[in-house]
Amino acid sequence: MIPAQALERIRDLVGAGGYLDRPEDLLLYEYDGGVDKALPDLVVFPRSTEDVIAIAKIAGEFSLPVTGRGAGTGLSGGSIPREGGVLVVFSRMNRVLEIDLASERAVVEPGVVNFDLTLAVQGDQYFYAPDPSSQRACTIGGNVAENAGGPHTLAYGVTTNHVLGVEVVLPDGRVVFTGGKETDGPGYDLTGLLTGSEGTMALVTKAVVRLMRQPEAVKTMLAIFDSAEDAGETVTEITARAITPVALEMLDGVMLRMAEEATHAGYPMDAAAVLLMEVEGLRESVDEQVEGLRAACRDCRAREFRVARSAEERDLLWKGRKNAFGAVGRVSPFYLVQDGVVPRTKIASTLRYIAQVSEKYGLTISNIFHAGDGNMHPIILFDARKPGDLDKAMQAGFDILRHCIAVGGSITGEHGVGMEKLELMKEQFSEASLELLEGLKRVFDPECRYNPGKLLPLGRSCMEIRRPAEIH
């Protein structure tokens, strides 16, 4: 519950249209793209850094939990207000504040939609590289919180490689600026620390991001396989030949059929897997890379290798990939998207393991993932109306993530830990490492009010250490 005095002060700050507290309105903010749910006590829509400062101070005075939220497209419960409290939604802080093409930089507020930034500069032949599948809806602030990736991370990297500085509001209302337009500033890399911290340390109110020039030439290809393992082995072969596409995506047969039925992208319905590849750069180098990829796919038993002949064909191939998650909803009303990383050499064996997990739990699991960097996205179909089905899906997901750890990978590549993978942190990190993470959290948020119950396992999370008497 929000104390009446706190509610009155927030109402005075943002006005009658700047907050929500009716139960029917709060229901819209109890979920994200994952399976976890929790209701906020109050939803607030700041319009400026000054609003966020005031909200942080009011929340601090009344010891209220605070959770930040962008577009709610996250897949691990990162923006779910696990302990209720104040949910700060940044949809109205959506301005592109500065575009500096001479320096190839932009300054944006956290509510700017990812793809809108590219639209703002594409007329000048620039773009913003991080491209999550939800890029037409997700926001820069949410991307910073989760260190989001996307299909083109193989060549361009994830969000942290494109965020050069942030303005943040700490739990006590102080404003801190980290980094800037320069490539590498002095001191500790606080920008890198805060990017991917899932809103547990600070609320981002501005970001300085890198812009990139559009390439001279782009080629998109589709390789078709009769074996998912052959497709997985092809990824290793491409790496061995020192070819680095800007994107290297894989869809297995289950996934590509769902995507094709929904989008008519041109994927063959009888294939066991496809690789969607893209290269770019100078025309001469692009043509050379295409032939190198063709040879690698041929040697790994691809039955067909297609090159998009026009921008329209290229867009259609990507339409199938970008809309794949939505396509799953036409087949199953409920599904769990997992996010683990394995070394590229372990992709084929991991696909075999996922098939074993599917058989073990009697659940359909489709695979669509960033094959180039080993970021696996098994999609587990289940029916929440069947008793125990959600638990089976969760356990299947945990089995897959434990396998990722066992082969030298990670429990997340871009979706974050959130509240979904907390307990697996104890399997990913040593006790000493978890103590260090807890200490860093307390430096920024000593009372553990920012996004409590996230990132750290429950034995250490804010749900356990929020009591002031326990703060050292």
Mark which of 89, 115, 138 sits at the end of a domain. Answer: 89
| Residues 162 and 79 placed together within one structural domain of the fold | no
Q: How far apart are CA 409 and CA 55, in angstroms?
A: 39
Q: How far apart are CA 144 and CA 418, in angstroms?
A: 14
Q: Are strands 42-44 and 273-281 parallel, antiparallel or unpaired?
A: unpaired
pLDDT tens sequence across 23-62: 999 999 999 999 999 999 999 999 999 999 999 999 999 9
Q: Looking at residue 460, what is its pLDDT?
A: 53
Mark which of 324, 347, 372 sits at the end of a domain. Answer: 324
Number of domains in the chain: 5
| Residues 201 and 151 placed together within one structural domain of the fold | yes
pLDDT tens sequence across 363-387: 999 999 999 999 999 999 999 999 9
| Interacting residues of 395 by C-beta distance below 8 A, sequence separation 6+ | 361
| In a domain? residue 122 | yes
Phi-psi region at 414: left, alpha or beta (left = phi > 0; alpha = psi -120 to 50): alpha
| Element containing residue 256 per DSSP (H, E) | helix 253-263
Q: 107: which 2 tokens?
A: 């300054």
Q: Of 403, 460, 397, nearest to 433 (Cα)?
A: 460
Q: 271: which 2 tokens?
A: 């294939």
pLDDT tens sequence across 285-326: 999 999 999 999 999 999 999 999 999 999 999 999 999 988
User: Burial letters for 417-447: b for 16+ Cβ neighbours within 10 Å, e otherwise?
Assistant: bbbbbbebbeebbeeeebeebbeebbebbeb
| Residues 304 and 227 placed together within one structural domain of the fold | yes
| In a domain? residue 268 | yes
Q: Of 212, 214, 211, nearest to 99 (Cα)?
A: 211
Residue 461: pLDDT band (50, 70, 90) is very low
DSSP secondary structure letter of residue 148: -
Q: Looking at residue 459, what is its pLDDT?
A: 57
| Residues 67 and 146 placed together within one structural domain of the fold | no
Q: Chain-wide mean pLDDT for the chain?
A: 94
| In a domain? residue 423 | no
DSSP secondary structure letter of residue 410: B
Which segments of 407-461 does DSSP mark as H helices, in order? 425-428, 431-444
pLDDT tens sequence across 233-275: 999 999 999 999 999 999 999 999 999 999 999 999 999 999 9
DSSP secondary structure letter of residue 420: T
| Residues 128 and 72 placed together within one structural domain of the fold | no
| Residues 200 and 222 placed together within one structural domain of the fold | no
Mark which of 89, 124, 155 sits at the end of a domain. Answer: 89
| Residues 248 and 232 placed together within one structural domain of the fold | yes
| In a domain? residue 424 | no
Which residue segment(s) compose the domain that 317 sits in? 217-324
Is the pLDDT assigned to residue 113 strictly greater than 60? yes
Is the pLDDT assigned to residue 104 strictly greater than 70? yes
Q: Looking at residue 325, what is its pLDDT?
A: 86
| Residues 72 and 153 placed together within one structural domain of the fold | no
Is the pLDDT assigned to residue 466 strictly greater than 80? no
| In a domain? residue 46 | yes
Q: Looking at residue 467, what is its pLDDT?
A: 35
Q: Is residue 55 a contact partner of residue 13, using CB atoms and an 8 Å limit?
A: yes
